[in-house]
Amino acid sequence: MATFDINKYRQMFLEEAEDIFETIDTILLDAEETNDMDTETINSLFRSVHTLKGNSASVELAMFAALAHELEFFMDRLRNGDLTFEEGMASLLMEGIDTLKQILELELSEQLEDHFYETTKSVLLQKLNSFSEDTAEIAIINEIYGEENQEFGLITPETVGEDFGLLEIHDGETIDDIPESLDDYFGFFDDEPTPAPIAIESSDDSFGFFDDLISTATSDDSFGFFDEMDLKAITSDDTEGFGFFTETFSAPENKIESAPKVVKEIEKANKSDKVDKVDKEIKKTKIDNTVSSIRVDLSKIDELMNNIGELVIAHSMLTQYTSTMEDQKIKSDLSERLDLIDRHIRELQESVMSVRMVPMETVFSKFPRVIRDTAKKLGKKIDFRHSGESVEIDKAMIEGLTDPLMHIVRNAMDHGIESSEHRLKIGKSETGILMMSAEQANGQMIIKIQDDGSGINVDRVTAKAIENGVIEEHQAASMSKEDKAMLIFAPGLSTAKEVTDISGRGVGMDVVMSNIKKLGGIVKVDTEDGFGTTLTIALPLTLAILDGLNIRVGEEQFILPLSVIIESLNPEPEMIKQIGDKSSEILMLRNEFIPIIRLHELFNIQLEDDHQLTDGLLIVVRSGSDKVALFVDEFMNQQQFVIKPLDKNFRNARGIGGATVRGDGTIGLIIDTMNILERTTY
């Protein structure tokens, strides 16, 4: 028999399980909200749990599979009409799914103890059985025989009637006489009675990439699939990175409060039912999705993109070589063919990039359950809304983006949105609103998190920053309201009166900022005390490739991303103003004052002559809502570049966001306008 790498297949199962758990959460959240579950939804839920059971059995997660079987059995009763959907059932099923996640993590790390498993399983089964008409009779049997039935959990009407085939219990019937012992029924067994094995079916309905592994599983210790394998123990190290099963509530986090101007935007959204319609369509699509797809490791796509990058470099070399040819006919013919190759390369790049891109719904889907659970724990009423689900983002960004967004959302719920009682007292609706939106604009991904809560008290934040030595009093006097609000991202700055187990202001908001910066993004805060807060995150659409403009500064060449360029000009003398000690230069452009940065000074490039601003070019670039004018000597050509991170091969450098290989084999440095703006004192 061939030897399988069980760890590899468990990894595949975990990736699949993440999607299934999200689908189940979506179904149950909708059922809890509407207090209803139609037949189609029940069938979808049953298939999802059935798939978890079958596929977990195929990778020898025996206890998880057995517990999933119990939930599947409950769903089967609901599907067959033996049970009707009742209030509280969706909440209980969510509790059951959380229990499944917990058992999965423990079993993977080999930390699952039999006693804990049996106790956890028994508690869950008792709650599930509370919806059964036969609860009283079953409770009596379990009290008498429960000790002898620990391997398979508490007895249910079906296990008594079908597995044992002796005690028949049907709907509407009662047990009048229960013997003190069940020895009369099982006395013909020499050993302890053993119920019939649980049949673990294959995952035939939806996610069946395990079909080639699964035949039929029994409930013995190994499920009989890998009897001839030398299985390696799965240690806690092996499961590193499976953090999507982490608990909803983690270590204390940092406080940010609610959103300015968000009230008007929310009121506008309230007048339209588009958001609700989109949400329902997304849920329906997620549940009914039958599109064929395969899972591909992102590293393979990265490798493919790197190979395309090498192809781009080779093409640039040929183009540069062609420009030196003297035979004009050969040069012309070769140029035409190179243009054709260039078009195909661009199409190939776009195709690979489309594989990397996934809809923002992938990110949004992680929040409804977290928000529901957190709101319940806080005793608050919070309505979560989102838009821009179809906007696509580079999959490589999702992992780095999800944690900061989760941190921001929890802070908004904990410290931003007020309690229902307080909201009513101050004339607000008792239900707070939390909105998350995504859009593409000016070559960037713009994500907004808005709430209609209490807002950030910038005076208190500023006072705390002065107390902690983050800023000096004279600096605070010249800071704008927006600058003061940004102080919440300073390390260790917390204005919360108490730190909760959900979040704590200042405990980690600096990490949020640093994680966003790692993705090449920026964060802006807009707040209005008493009315709410909006956090805006601007990110590049992808980390893999960009359209750039070659610029010359002295004898050096740099690459400036096209997405940040607003305009370029050759300034007139009257457009240049000097402030302070005349060391700071300002461009006055259409009644707007824009700081000027001389790139040769920033990068310490020696020039032969003392360049005047009117002798060169100014390129006005932006980072979020801020602008700066970069002084350069000359524009060169425009082309696409494959981005290579600088810190992996060298180190971070001021004003440089990455590197690329040019057509002649030399290294080109990519200018990071966000970094330049951050380090510029206006």
Q: What is the pLDDT of residues 142-152, one digit of tens each?
A: 555 544 444 44
For residue 188, give both structure tokens. Answer: 């013909």
- Mean pLDDT across 69-86: 89
Q: Which amino acid is at 49?
A: V
Higher pLDDT, residue 534 or 494: 534
Q: How far is CA 274 from the centre of its chain?
A: 24
Q: Using N-to-C axis directions, what is the helix angle for 6-34 and 274-288, rounded to 10°?
A: 140
- Mean pLDDT across 400-424: 91
pLDDT tens string 170-182: 444 444 443 444 3
Please give the pLDDT value at position 394: 84
Please give the pLDDT value at position 383: 94
Burial class (CB in 10 A: 0-12, 13-18, 19+), 164: middle
The rounded distance, in Å, linking the Cα atoms of 346 and 319 is 15
Please give the pLDDT value at position 133: 52
The CA-CA-CA angle for residues 206, 31, 293, to 5°, reads 20
Q: Is the dihedral of CA 177, 183, 187, 192 positive or negative?
A: positive
Please give the pLDDT value at position 280: 47
SS3 277: helix
Please give the pLDDT value at position 587: 92
Please give the pLDDT value at position 164: 38
In this structure, which topology does domain 545-678 adopt according to CATH? OB fold (Dihydrolipoamide Acetyltransferase, E2P) (2.40.50)
Q: Does residue 185 carry a pLDDT above 50?
A: no
- Cα dist. 434→347, 368, 379 in Å? 39, 11, 16
Please give the pLDDT value at position 153: 44
- Mean pLDDT across 605-630: 83
Q: Which of 112, 191, 118, 192 is nearest to 151 (CA)?
A: 118
The rounded distance, in Å, linking the Cα atoms of 643 and 399 is 19
SS3 389: coil
Counting residues of the chain whose pLDDT is more than 90, the rounded percentage is 19
Residues 6 or more apart whose CB falls under 8 angstroms from that of 439 comprise 388, 391, 445, 446
For residue 543, give both structure tokens. Answer: 């980390």
SS3 365: coil
The CA-CA-CA angle for residues 281, 287, 292, to 5°, reads 105
pLDDT tens string 205-238: 434 444 443 333 333 443 333 343 333 333 334 4
Using only the alpha carbons of the chain, give its radius of gyration. Answer: 31
Burial class (CB in 10 A: 0-12, 13-18, 19+), 672: buried
- Mean pLDDT across 600-610: 82
Strands 592-598 and 626-632: parallel
Rank 18-27, 156-165, 656-665 by mean pLDDT and report only the highest: 18-27
The rounded distance, in Å, linking the Cα atoms of 657 and 112 is 46
Give the H or E element holding residue 476.
helix 473-477
The rounded distance, in Å, linking the Cα atoms of 595 and 673 is 13
- Please give the DSSP secondary-structure letter assigned to residue 380: -
Of 22-36, 261-275, 602-616, least confident by mean pLDDT is 261-275
In the structure, what pLDDT confidence band is assigned to residue 295 with cuts at 50, 70 and 90? confident
In the structure, what pLDDT confidence band is assigned to residue 430 with cuts at 50, 70 and 90? very high
CATH of segment(s) 262-287+360-540: 3.30.565.10
The rounded distance, in Å, linking the Cα atoms of 172 and 175 is 10
Q: Does residue 534 carry a pLDDT above 50?
A: yes
Instruction: Name the CATH architecture for the domain at 6-242.
Output: Up-down Bundle (1.20)
Q: Which of 548, 520, 476 is nearest to 624 (CA)?
A: 520
In the structure, what pLDDT confidence band is assigned to residue 447 with cuts at 50, 70 and 90? very high
Q: Which of 148, 101, 159 is nearest to 125 (CA)?
A: 159
Q: Give pTM, 2 decimals.
A: 0.62
**Contact call for residues 492 and 468 (beta carbons, < 8 A):** yes
The rounded distance, in Å, linking the Cα atoms of 535 and 516 is 12
- Mean pLDDT across 527-538: 91
The rounded distance, in Å, linking the Cα atoms of 498 and 505 is 9
User: Domain residue spans in the chain?
Assistant: 6-242, 262-287+360-540, 298-356, 545-678
Please give the pLDDT value at position 501: 56
- Please give the DSSP secondary-structure letter assigned to residue 199: P
pLDDT tens string 80-127: 888 888 888 999 999 999 999 999 989 888 888 889 999 999 999 888
- Please give the DSSP secondary-structure letter assigned to residue 487: G
- Mean pLDDT across 124-137: 71
DSSP 497-508: SS--SS--TTSS
Residues 6 or more apart whose CB falls under 8 angstroms from that of 495 comprise 255, 457, 460, 461, 464, 505, 506
- Mean pLDDT across 297-301: 81
The rounded distance, in Å, linking the Cα atoms of 472 and 637 is 46
- Cα dist. 564→437, 548, 669 in Å? 22, 10, 16
Q: Which of 225, 161, 224 is nearest to 195 (CA)?
A: 161
Please give the backbone phi and psi of residue 282, each rounded to the nearest 5 degrees, phi first: -60, -45
pLDDT tens string 20-52: 998 899 899 989 888 888 888 899 999 999 999
SS3 513: helix
In the structure, what pLDDT confidence band is assigned to residue 422 with cuts at 50, 70 and 90? very high
For residue 237, give both structure tokens. Answer: 């190290």
Q: Does residue 493 carry a pLDDT above 90?
A: no
For residue 325, give both structure tokens. Answer: 């040819």
Q: Does residue 455 carry a pLDDT above 60?
A: yes
The rounded distance, in Å, linking the Cα atoms of 56 and 6 is 11
Of 258-267, 315-324, 353-362, 607-616, least confident by mean pLDDT is 258-267
Residues 6 or more apart whose CB falls under 8 angstroms from that of 3 comprise 228, 229, 230
224-257 burial, b at 16+ Cβ within 10 Å, e below that, comes to: ebbeeeeeeebeeebbeebeebeeebeebbbbbb
- Mean pLDDT across 649-673: 78
**Contact call for residues 130 and 139 (beta carbons, < 8 A):** no
The CA-CA-CA angle for residues 496, 498, 502, to 5°, reads 90
- Per the DSSP assignment, residues forming a β-bridge with 561 are 548
Torsion angle defined by CA atoms of residues 257, 494, 369 and 18, in that order, rounded to the nearest 10 degrees:
130
Of 44-48, 329-333, 496-500, 562-566, least confident by mean pLDDT is 496-500
The rounded distance, in Å, linking the Cα atoms of 436 and 404 is 13
Burial class (CB in 10 A: 0-12, 13-18, 19+), 84: exposed
In the structure, what pLDDT confidence band is assigned to residue 424 with cuts at 50, 70 and 90? very high
Round the average pLDDT of the chain to a whole number and report it: 75
Q: Does residue 322 carry a pLDDT above 50?
A: yes
**Contact call for residues 222 and 418 (beta carbons, < 8 A):** no
The rounded distance, in Å, linking the Cα atoms of 367 and 360 is 12
Q: Does residue 484 carry a pLDDT above 70?
A: yes
In the structure, what pLDDT confidence band is assigned to residue 533 with cuts at 50, 70 and 90? very high
Burial class (CB in 10 A: 0-12, 13-18, 19+), 450: buried
SS3 615: helix
- Please give the DSSP secondary-structure letter assigned to residue 243: G
Residue in the structure block whose two tokens are 């008007």: 264
**Contact call for residues 434 and 382 (beta carbons, < 8 A):** yes
**Contact call for residues 472 and 437 (beta carbons, < 8 A):** no
Q: Which amino acid is at 51?
A: T
